[in-house]
A and B are shown apart, each in its own frame.
Chain A
């Protein structure tokens, strides 16, 4: 069935349970949300609230979920097809783990092109490296010769090279230096503007989420308890108590961090 709305991603009563029987642990509990085409949606919450698990289920790394995931109005099968990955790509949290240690950048970028049958390999690789702000010099380097920020740029390039319409971002900056975080966030923002991408970003960092996302889902214990706009977060206009506490605590830590940043010469 094709919905009349312009929802690109939609989940209906999505649940993920790890373990069985008495030890069963329901990590995500009947979560329903939707993302409009071209939107940047953020999922925030403390560690272990199930936000990354939702991402894993959405992208198909975890096929054992209940409920339905719809992409572009169509329900996607639990085992994803190649055509799905052509449209949806993901950037991982840890750039030190997400790049194959024995592949040079060129090869990392070449493989998705081969898999999806693209032509003009060299031109596309040059173009995407330019787009993520890496020069040609990085082309024949191994990951261990790159810094964390450069690696994350390569990871973003790998996701973008097959020209997807949606990017799932799993805390893309949390493993990086504070000074590099801003560069990557600005890059993500620029790429979204240029390529009309739809973002789903998972993070626990309020500053990151308000920088990138227009709408944010607050998660707690496997459920989305409240949806807010970025402005509402900035003004701390939350309805639920938990959200208020979370926002207040995050702002507090953010404030202390920005003080320490001022002390450190950047």
Chain B
């Protein structure tokens, strides 16, 4: 054959390792794929913007105790309803607590809810969807009718009902939001599975003697993961909004916890005189969900096989 056979790449810098024409190990092949994906993401400005905000949020959540300027629970009634100033970047609320510090700690709660919900909903939706799509028959019918039942409820109403039944709190709102957000993912994974279950490579896997479970795990799921990741990233915005909505309604995080939705809810009473109490948490929610949306869009461009 006329293929030029280059020798295995010599040990060199990370960059030559990533750009080597012939990967010498599994790890290198995988790393090169990711490297190329990041390279493609570079040209997508809005996705980078979203990614930067998400990164900022993450750093804020991780280093919250170092960033916060005040104790988030310390009340100072003599300094209540202070407008933004040098002492209080975002002003103080009706109990004299520093809003900036509370926003910083609130990022922890928001990301905690968003990530935990994604970690529950994505695998459940993926497994249910791929199993239903691949096995078909009555398994498909039963699983998809269950999904239909869940989809028939508006997600916030379903979450409300569960929180009302289980009692308010962050953990319960995570469970409630997860319950509402896995069915669309199952739908998506099933649709994806239906398009590939008849493909030659799945037939080939069957002819290797692989069991249905092995095929789902090693052939179907890897094909569904990109679109599920994109979907869950885009869903993050909805998850954040639902969590904030639950907090706003008093069914999510309970005071004095600095959850953004709950802060927005208390700020509502002072909106006309002290705009910052409601506006700052509101803008935080807006920015966080916008960031996830933009990043999800960018991810779709690089991950979804149909988009390139």
Contact = CB atoms under 8 A, between A and B. Distances in A.
Interface string A113-153: 00110000000000000000101010011100000000000
Contacts, number: 76
Interface in B14-32: 22-26, 28-29
Interface residues of chain B: helix, strand, loop or mixed (majority): helix
Interface of B: 1, 5-6, 22-26, 28-29, 33, 199-201, 203-210, 214, 218-219, 222-223, 305
Contact of B223 (A59, A92, A102): A102
A86 B207 CA distance: 9
Interface stretch (A39-47, A93-101, A230-238): A93-101
Given A104-B26, A141-B29, A94 B208 contact: no
Interface residues of A, number: 34
Contacts of B26: 104, 106-107, 140
Contacts of B214: 115
Given A104-B26, A115-B214, A89 B201 contact: no
B207 to A, nearest CB: 5
Contact of A100 (B25, B28, B219): B219
Interface of A: 59-61, 82, 85-86, 89-90, 92-94, 97-104, 106-107, 111-112, 115-116, 133, 135, 137, 140-142, 155, 158, 162
Given A115-B214, A137-B22, A141-B29, A92 B209 contact: no
Interface residues of chain A: helix, strand, loop or mixed (majority): loop
B218 A92 contact: no
Contacts of A104: 23, 26, 29
5 contacts: A97-B199, A99-B201, A100-B222, A111-B205, A142-B29
A135 B2 CA distance: 12
Contacts of A61: 203, 206-207
Contact of B210 (A101, A111, A141): A111
Nearest to A113: B208
Contact of A158 (B28, B199, B204): B204
B215 to A, nearest CB: 10
A69 to B, nearest CB: 15
Given A97-B199, A97-B200, A82 B209 contact: yes
Given A101-B305, A137-B22, A111 B6 contact: no
A141 B23 contact: yes
Contacts of A85: 207-209
